[in-house]
């Protein structure tokens, strides 16, 4: 989330906004800095909050890909919500589109290629708050910078061009959701992806099974399988599946240095902790709201 949050920031998490989640493991303790708990879990329940999740909210949640611990005992992450239930998210050349509208955040760090006539001095980079420990060759610099710094770089006399440096669409990587070469996405390119809402009904076909099966089995505790051209849920033949959870899609602002929904897929509602709303202690020496 660099750009919005920085290393060492102390953040206020508003648990009342979306409703306080009651403890899943009520018999838990902090002993010597380590969490200990008795293996006794309660059903998920959230007290109604005063607002719903909005696009661009920065949200604290428990890590999705961890089955060894109860939900509320897992590591805490903070990312930006870019799509919510019954929404659509797409990534084109590193830019996120939610329900076909481009993202508006000014804090997103995307990779850029900077072409310069001569070497750019460390002094210039420091004046722009850009880390001088850079990846460059033959006066071509590869930087992760937000839009404001792109504008500043273009004003430097020796800079010839600044362009997005994105992964080619055809460059599939198996670590990217849904981790299947039949849907060959990468960090900078995602086809339109539907975010499911509780009680939504989804048609079962080979592509949808590839995208949603792991999420459904992990968080909705049902068994899905395909036998020849037929689909089965908990052993019963069906052409549709009705979702029992709300889901979200979370992405970090530092786009090429963030482990987020582009790797694991959907965030279920019961993993949400609260809205990150205020920074009261920062290395920037300022108190500020999170936007």
Q: What is the pTM of this model?
A: 0.88
Domain that includes residue 207, residue range? 201-242
Q: What tokens does 213 get? A: 């099966």
Does residue 163 register a pLDDT over 90? yes
Tell me the C-alpha distance between 30 and 1, whole Å: 27
d(CA 209, CA 55): 26
Q: Which residues contact 270 (CB under 8 A, 6 or more apart)?
A: 21, 44, 46, 71, 219, 245
Helix then strand then coil, % of the chain, to nearest 5: 15, 35, 50
26 within a domain of the structure (yes/no): no
Mean pLDDT of the chain: 87
* 127 in a structural domain: yes
The structure tokens listed for 119 are 């070497």
142 domain residue, yes or no: yes
Percent of the chain with pLDDT over 90: 60
pLDDT digits (tens, 9 = 90+) for 103-142: 877 788 899 999 999 988 888 888 888 875 667 778 889 8
Domain tally, the chain: 2
166-223: per-residue pLDDT in tens?
Answer: 999 999 999 999 999 999 999 999 999 999 999 999 999 999 999 999 999 999 999 9
Residue 195, H or E segment? strand 190-195
DSSP-assigned letter for residue 229: T
H runs (alpha helix) in 131-239: 147-154, 206-219
Q: How far is CA 44 from CA 9, 161, 212, 276, in A?
A: 30, 52, 22, 21
Q: How far apart are CA 23 and CA 125, in angstroms?
A: 47
Which pair of tokens denotes residue 59?
A: 């949200």
CATH number at residue 125: 3.30.70
pLDDT band at 287 (very low <50, low <70, confident <90, very high): very low
User: Rounded CA gap, 75 and 183, in Å?
Assistant: 29
């Amino acid at each position: 989330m660099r750009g919005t949050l920085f290393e060492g920031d102390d953040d206020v998490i508003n648990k009342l906004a979306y409703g306080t989640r009651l403890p899943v493991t009520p018999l838990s303790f902090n002993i010597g800095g380590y969490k200990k708990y008795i293996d006794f879990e309660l059903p998920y329940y959230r007290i109604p909050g005063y607002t719903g999740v909005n696009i661009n909210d920065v949200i604290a949640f428990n890590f999705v890909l961890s089955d060894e611990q109860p939900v509320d005992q897992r590591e805490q992450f903070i990312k930006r919500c870019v799509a919510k239930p019954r929404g659509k998210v797409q990534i084109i050349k590193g830019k996120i589109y939610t329900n076909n509208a481009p993202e508006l955040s000014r804090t997103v760090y995307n990779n850029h290629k900077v072409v310069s006539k001569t070497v750019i001095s460390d002094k210039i980079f420091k004046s722009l708050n850009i880390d001088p420990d850079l990846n460059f060759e033959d006066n071509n610099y590869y930087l992760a910078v937000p839009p404001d710094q792109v504008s500043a770089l273009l004003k430097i006399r020796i800079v010839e061009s600044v362009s997005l440096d994105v992964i080619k669409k055809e460059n599939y990587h198996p670590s990217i959701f849904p981790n299947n070469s039949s849907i060959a996405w990468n960090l900078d390119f995602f086809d339109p992806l539907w975010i499911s809402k509780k009680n939504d009904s989804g048609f079962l076909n080979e592509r949808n099974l590839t995208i949603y099966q792991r999420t459904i089995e992990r968080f909705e505790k049902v068994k899905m399988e395909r036998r020849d051209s037929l689909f089965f849920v908990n052993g019963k033949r069906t052409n549709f599946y009705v979702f029992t959870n709300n889901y979200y899609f979370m992405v970090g602002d530092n786009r090429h240095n963030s482990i987020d929904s582009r790797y694991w897929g959907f965030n279920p509602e019961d993993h949400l902790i609260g809205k990150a709303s205020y920074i009261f202690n920062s290395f920037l020496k300022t108190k500020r709201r999170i936007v």
